Amino acid sequence: MAADSVAFSRRMRTDSAGESERSGGFVVPGGHGGSGDTWRRHIVSQLKNRDRNQSDSFQDLIRFYSRLLDKSSLTNGILSCSVRRPCSDSSPVSSLLNQNDHLKKTTGELAFQVLELQQQIKIKLRVLDEQDSSLLAERRRLAGAFDVRQDLQERVVQVQEENGALKMEYDSLLERQRGAETRLREEKVREGNLVEDMIHLKRQAAACMNNRNERRSRAREANLQKELQSAARSKVAIDSSFSAPTSRSTSPKNEIQDESTERRHTRLFRSASATSPRILTSFRELFNRKRRGHSVCSLEEDLKSPVGICLSARVPARALHVLEAHEQGINTVRFSSSSDLLATGGTDRVIKLWEVRAGSLTHRATLDGSTEGITCVEFDSAGSRILAASYDKSALLWRLDESVPKLTLTGHSRKVTAARFSTLLHQVVTGSADRTIRLWDLHRAACVQVVEVASYCSDLVCSENCIISGHYDCKIRVWDSRAVSCVQELPAQGKVTSLDLSSDHRQLLSCCRDDCLQLVDLRRWSNDRTCFRAEGFKCGSDSTKAVISPDGCFLAAGSADGTVYIWNVATGNLETRLPDKHSSSISAVSWSLSGEYFVSVDKSRRAVLWSDI
């Protein structure tokens, strides 16, 4: 702009000088030469001042404007007009005025454009400020991301180091495990070899024992044969004076003589006849002796006389008494050892005692104290105490002459499904749904042993030095109560709902959810099993109780349709069915030890007393 202004002033001075020359040094008419120079200088000075002010304020704008002016046709027109200006038609003053007007007009347009450009510049500046602030925020975010990235990289390095350490530890543990597995396999192989060797040695010992027993039996039999032959060859004189006295009023001296004479005659006849009682007993002991294998029952139990007084159990045929025994369903029933007292327990949380008289049940007492339903009841051998298991995770002990429990045994975490008196009078065994079997000392009212089981315990029975439990995993387990260890597992046909032992503790009855009763011979190594089924029989619940008759000849269980089924053990067939007295599923049955009465109870509060008369 400054260069353009200088060029413009030079043109102005040149034009004025030319005009002076052409005019011959005369001043423009109507004006003075000094005044003409003054206003020209004044205009030039104003232009210079404006040019200076504008150039100082708008250097960039002036530069762009100068470029625009160079390219503008207006500038070309102005230059062309100034070059071709006629000397005669116009005066310098008018030319300058026209130029001044044109410049003013052009300057106004340019000023407007300058304002627009200033507005655009302001807008761009604001946008630039916003972009700068955004860029600053992004830089800050980037710096934070770099910090996080650095932390993550450090964390990755740390995790890699930890993973390396864990990998090394895992490798060492894997090596140890492989070594342990190798040793375990070796120990199993060694165990198998030891078991085989032990079985072989046992068989050899058993064979030696059998040979020794056979030799002894043969020697004993030969001696008996010799005695029989010598007795048969000998002559015996019988005197009638040694006959038995006809009257019981005999003097003591005569009694002694008669007794000695009787002993002498007995000895003579024992030698003379093979049908004498002593010889028959000897033969019976000789030929009935059996070799024993490994069985659940001990030798003492086999030699022990059967418990109970029943010679022949009666098969029930007629209902003698039907009554609503409880306010809610009945879960369990049991006769006492004397057979004249009956206990029932139900979901109404009480135990009721009934006297059995002349074919009817008479209420005697009610035992309460449980906070939930009763699952199992049992009398002790003396018939003076009663034990019960409850849904309230406890077992309770009553005396028959007291209505409140004497002891409450707590410790199970779930319902107690079975409670039995042990062979020791001061011990009790309980089984629970918490998969444990507990042995309790009644003197201390404390648990002395806990056995962890792999499955829900539904019922248990006790024998000499062993506990037999039934479980939901279709297994019957035999436990040694002295060593607290499982010595045998017997398979069942389904989930076991109840167990019952015969009076001589030689046979075990189990009731299963597959509608089958299974009788196991505990004396044999193979534990021979016999299954009993019947058309229409269905096990009604997970706690259905089945029993063996006191003489061991019959089995009884209640069905889901309210019918009692009784099987004959000898034939394996169904002996009888007792329908029409129960309207719902039968939960439990019980046989009196005298064999005279039979009781069944159901889920609808009904108890039925049966007999064969």
State what percent of residues in the chain have pLDDT above 90.
44
pTM of the model: 0.52
Q: Can you give the pLDDT at residue 306?
A: 39
Q: Which of 573, 474, 557 is nearest to 509 (CA)?
A: 557
Cβ atoms within 10 Å of 258's Cβ, excluding its own: 15
Phi first, then psi, for residue 255 (nearest 5°) are -60, -45
Instruction: Write the pLDDT tens digit of every residue in 239-290.
Output: 434 333 333 333 434 443 444 444 433 333 333 333 444 444 444 444 444 3
Q: Which of 133, 110, 130 is nearest to 122 (CA)?
A: 130
- Can you point out the beta strands (E) in 464-605? 466-471, 475-480, 485-491, 496-501, 507-512, 516-521, 529-532, 546-548, 554-558, 564-568, 574-578, 586-591, 598-602
Enclosing H/E stretch for 441: strand 436-441
66 pLDDT exceeds 90? no
Instruction: Write the pLDDT tens digit of every residue in 515-545.
Output: 999 999 888 766 778 899 999 999 989 999 9
**Strands of the 475-480 sheet, one edge to the other:** 457-463, 466-471, 475-480, 485-491
Domain with CATH 2.130.10.10 in the chain: 318-611
What is the residue-averaged pLDDT of the chain? 79
Which class in CATH covers the domain with range 318-611? mainly beta
Give the model's confidence band at 358: pLDDT under 50 very low, under 70 low, under 90 confident, else very high: confident
Please give the angle made by the CA atoms of 132, 134 and 135, to the nearest 5 degrees. 60
Q: How many Å apart are CA 537 and CA 543, to the nearest integer? A: 15
Looking at residue 336, its amino acid is S
Enclosing H/E stretch for 386: strand 385-390
Taking a C-beta distance cutoff of 8 angstroms, is the pair 603, 561 a contact?
Answer: no
Average pLDDT over residues 297-318: 56
Instruction: Write the pLDDT tens digit of every residue in 310-350.
Output: 567 889 999 999 999 999 999 999 999 888 999 999 999 99
Average pLDDT over residues 348-368: 92
Identify the residue with better confidence: 104 or 232.
232
Instruction: Write the pLDDT tens digit of every residue in 414-466.
Output: 999 999 999 887 899 999 999 999 999 998 888 998 999 989 999 999 988 88
State what percent of residues in the chain have pLDDT above 70.
73
Q: Can you give the pLDDT at residue 553?
A: 92
